[in-house]
Structure 1
Amino acid sequence: MDLLLWRHADAEDGLPDLQRPLTARGEAQAQQMADWLHAHAPKRLAVLVSPAVRAQQTAAALKQPFVTDERLRPGADVCELLAATGWADGDEMDDSDDGSTTTAVRHSPTHARRAVLVVGHQPTLGRVAALLLGGQEADWSVKKGSVWWFSNRVRRGETQTVLRAVIGPDYLP
């Protein structure tokens, strides 16, 4: 499975928190990252988005359907976010010793690898990244507008998490 975590782009300050829109800079960041995602992300990508306006606007830059999920709201629980994505459902890839890759568990009739993009918030996204890479939650920083891309696989019977990319809008043309 591929899991892409996209922190919402730069947003205005103020209250109520769920109603804060993107700034002009944030709109540009969202579009830059959406363009990168169109070029690099898996083609069959399910998109789950926080109900916050800034996350909805960030996701809208992709110009593809998405699902709003209350489990992704600001202050979300790491386990609930991972459950929403199906990360722990066992859709790993088994890398054999000869370098070929086979599907360990198949969830769809077409046997397509699942890919989920989450548009959410700090500190939850940083805590998810820490858990996936370090084995425990910690307050890691995910910059506004950035994407962290993870894959999971099984190698020699052990499930592994692979960090495929970390990119922020400041590094895109």
Structure 2
Amino acid sequence: MELILWRHAEAEEGVPGVSDMSRQLTKRGLSQARTMAGWLKTKLPENTLVLTSPAQRARQTAMALCHDFDIVQEIGPGASVNQILAAADWPYAQCAVVVVGHQPTLSETVCVLLSTMPSGLFFNQGAIWWITCQKQESAFVAELCTVKYPEML
């Protein structure tokens, strides 16, 4: 299984009285999303499943990659690591899965999967962490393949 964790790109600041779920990507955020999506399109297998938080900024990030994605309520802001892994069907999914979500849950998920990482891991806006899962003997082993930031592309 391949799991790609993608933090939504840069979004507008929150405004009192306006729902956090409706925050939009900034102009820079839209550029970050397009840049990362362009790179991902050249790397992802054809049958990749894209799951996104219902937050507008996450949906806009996912739309840069494709229009055929699933909105999953359980992976919205405040989701737990277990909710992210359950939505992605980790480690059993039969296809690559991209999860477009939020901090701090995405970095917490990386920390759980790669138990050698420090708990203070930070996930930049628009970044992806690509993790594979291999079955070795009777256990599943997660391996970090790559980390990419839009500024690197």
Query: What is the alpha-carbon distance in structure 1 between the residues aligned to residue 99 and residue 90 of structure 2?
Result: 11
Per the normalisation by structure 1, the TM-score is 0.82
Moved runs in structure 1, 4+ residues, more than 2 A? 135-139, 155-158
User: In structure 2, which of residues 28, 52, 55 is the aligned counterpart of residue 52 of structure 1?
Assistant: 55
Structure 1 match to 2:143: 162
**Residue 91 of structure 2 contacts residue 140 of structure 2 at CA under 8 Å; is this kept in 1?**
no
Unaligned segments of structure 1, at least 5 residues? 92-112
Secondary structure of the structure 2 residue equivalent to 1:38: helix
Per the normalisation by structure 2, the TM-score is 0.92
> Map of 1:21-100 to 2, 5 A cutoff?
21-89=24-92
Query: What is the alpha-carbon distance in structure 1 between the residues aligned to residue 104 and residue 149 of structure 2?
Result: 17
Secondary structure of the structure 2 residue equivalent to 1:87: coil
How much does 1:143 deviate? 0.6
Of the two, which has the highest radius of gyration? 1
Query: What is the alpha-carbon distance in structure 1 between the residues aligned to residue 63 and residue 88 of structure 2?
Result: 19
Structure 1 match to 2:130: 149
How much does 1:150 deviate? 0.6
Secondary structure of the structure 2 residue equivalent to 1:134: coil
Unaligned segments of structure 2, at least 5 residues? none
Paired residues in the alignment total 150
What's the % identity of the aligned pairs?
42
How much does 1:133 deviate? 0.2
